[in-house]
Amino acid sequence: MQNFLRDLESRGELARVARQVEPRHQLAAVTRAVQRAGEQAVLFQDVAGSAMPVVSNLYGSHDRLCRMIGAGERTFCERWIELTDACLAARDADVMVPATAEEAGGFVSGKLSDLPAVTWHGRDAGPYFTSAIFLAKEPDSGVPNLSFHRSMQVSDSELRVRLGGTHDLTRYQKKAEERGEALEAALLLSCPPELFLSACASLPYEASELVMAAQIKGGKIATRRCETIDLEVPASVDIVVEGRFLPNIKRPEGPFGEFMGNYVEVGDNHVFEVTHVSYRPDAVLHGLVCGSPEDLRPLEAVTAARVYRHVAAQVPGVIDVCCRPNVMISIVKIRKAYEGHAQHVFLAAMGSYLDYNKVVIVVDEDVDIYDLDDVMWAYLTRGRADTRAMIVPDVPGFYRDPKKDHWGRLCIDATMPWGREAEFARKSIPGQDEVDLADWLA
């Protein structure tokens, strides 16, 4: 994390807050103000009640995400697919190495209450770890998995964790529970980018996110042994909470302000028994505001890559995919080749990710898919509103939706009418992109 922060600061992408900040609501409020002002990460150097700083908005920039994965001139989708393919072709043994004494050393033992206890939203039940990455092994194969799960801080010995129904970790826990066993896991906090981004990946059940991390890093992942559980964790992680998910025990967790912008109410969720906490003396806790750009940009980017892969395999002319401003939408840029091209994209996109494609919009290659104003301009100016929109009713959507609020699909063709492209060519002002205002403004 310290190396990561130094790099951001050298690029002018890190803001520092020197005055003391309260961890209950105030830290989150300042973070949102920073996000409204731009895409800088923000480091809170003095958090009341803890000696440990907190950093936020590390991943709130799409351009920064592209840089982290080495996209270069390629789109995020193209580079992410390349990394995923390399991951699936590799094995744990190819990329995992024991940490040196220097890499594995320097950790001190502590307790959960040593860490900042940040309460993010007005109705949250208490402090939460919001960038919580759990590492666990598949009970039979031993394949490691990384995944995000919000974790409510209850005491030094207990977290309460929401395990999503479709996640691999949920299957691990259920398999261990059916055997009457606890599932050992390590909570990784303050991770380098390759681990954070690999935990966002959507990989087959038998694949390892640690292998994906090695592809993003472009090198091997050094690991160290945990103190109280049978796991090895990346030595580059600055804060590690060891423990186990208890079988057949659930306790109230929530409410909590989730990524869609509303609260998930109190529910009985899994209990994680803490057995050990270790951290480097200079550790910085990473926390994010759920539903903010830092939460959504990585999820949108990897979802877009999954949609891109599927649609491009089915339909020609796909250039890029974006899922902004919310992961529930997929905006597909195409090089239109025939009448009805957009409708073929609709069908492919809807089948590419059944959880998230609530809205699909198809645009021409001159539209900026990362600017919803530009996307809607294309829809509103390039043809009829009625015949270019299609509603597919009563199709299940997001998996956590007991009241069916996310059922149904909306598809919008925002491309130019076939054969009439010259009528809809954008106007332009010669030389506008070359103007340097410093030459003109006093």
- Residue 354 — very low, low, confident or very high, per pLDDT cuts 50/70/90? confident
Structure confidence by residue, pLDDT tens digits, 282-338: 999 999 999 999 999 999 999 999 999 999 999 999 999 999 988 999 999 999 999
Give the Cα separation of 96 and 235 in Å (integer): 11
Dihedral Cα 326, 7, 25, 113, nearest 10 deg = 120
What phi and psi, each to the nearest 5 degrees, are found at residue 377?
A: -55, -45
Angle between helices 341-350 and 293-314 (to 10 degrees): 120
Q: What is the DSSP letter of 114?
A: G
Residue 271: per-residue pLDDT: 98
Residue 105: per-residue pLDDT: 86
Residues 6+ apart with CB under 8 A from 124: 255, 256, 257
Pull the structure tokens for residue 359.
């809205």
Question: Strand, coil or helix: what is 76?
Answer: helix
* CATH annotation of 90-283: 2.30.110.10
Question: Strand, coil or helix: what is 242?
Answer: strand
Q: What is the mean pLDDT of the chain?
A: 95
Structure confidence by residue, pLDDT tens digits, 230-243: 999 999 999 999 99
Structure confidence by residue, pLDDT tens digits, 169-225: 999 999 999 999 999 999 999 999 999 999 999 899 999 999 999 999 999 999 999
Give the Cα separation of 320 and 299 in Å (integer): 16
What phi and psi, each to the nearest 5 degrees, are found at residue 15?
A: -100, 145
- Residue 403 — very low, low, confident or very high, per pLDDT cuts 50/70/90? confident
Is the pLDDT at 442 greater than 80, yes or no? no
Alpha-carbon distances, residue 7 vs 153, 157, 194, 197, 207 (angstroms) = 31, 35, 14, 17, 31
CATH topology identical between 90-283 and 294-420: no
Beta bridge partners of 188: 133, 240
Query: Contact, 395 vs 408, CB < 8 A?
Result: yes
Domain residue limits, the chain: 1-57, 90-283, 294-420
Q: Could you name the CATH architecture of 294-420?
A: 3-Layer(aba) Sandwich (3.40)
Structure confidence by residue, pLDDT tens digits, 62-112: 999 999 999 999 999 999 999 999 999 988 777 889 999 999 989 999 999
Give the Cα separation of 435 and 442 in Å (integer): 15
Residue 400: per-residue pLDDT: 77
Alpha-carbon distances, residue 387 vs 168, 174, 413 (angstroms) = 41, 47, 9
By the 10 Å C-beta count (0-12 exposed, 13-18 middle, 19+ buried), 24 is classed as: middle
Residue 326: per-residue pLDDT: 87
Is the pLDDT at 395 greater than 80, yes or no? yes
Residue 95: per-residue pLDDT: 87
Question: Strand, coil or helix: what is 89?
Answer: helix
User: Which residue reads 């990561």 in tokens?
Assistant: 4
- Through-space distance between the first and last CA atoms of the chain, rounded to whole angstroms: 42
Q: State the DSSP H helix or E strand holding residue 29, giving kind and residue range, or none if neither.
A: helix 26-37
Give the Cα separation of 323 and 306 in Å (integer): 11
Query: What proportion of the chain, given as a percentage, has pLDDT over 70?
Result: 100
Pull the structure tokens for residue 353.
């990710």
Indicate the pTM of the whole model. Answer: 0.91
CB atoms within 10 A of CB 34: 17
Q: What is the identity of the amino acid at 170?
A: T
Query: Contact, 224 vs 103, CB < 8 A?
Result: yes
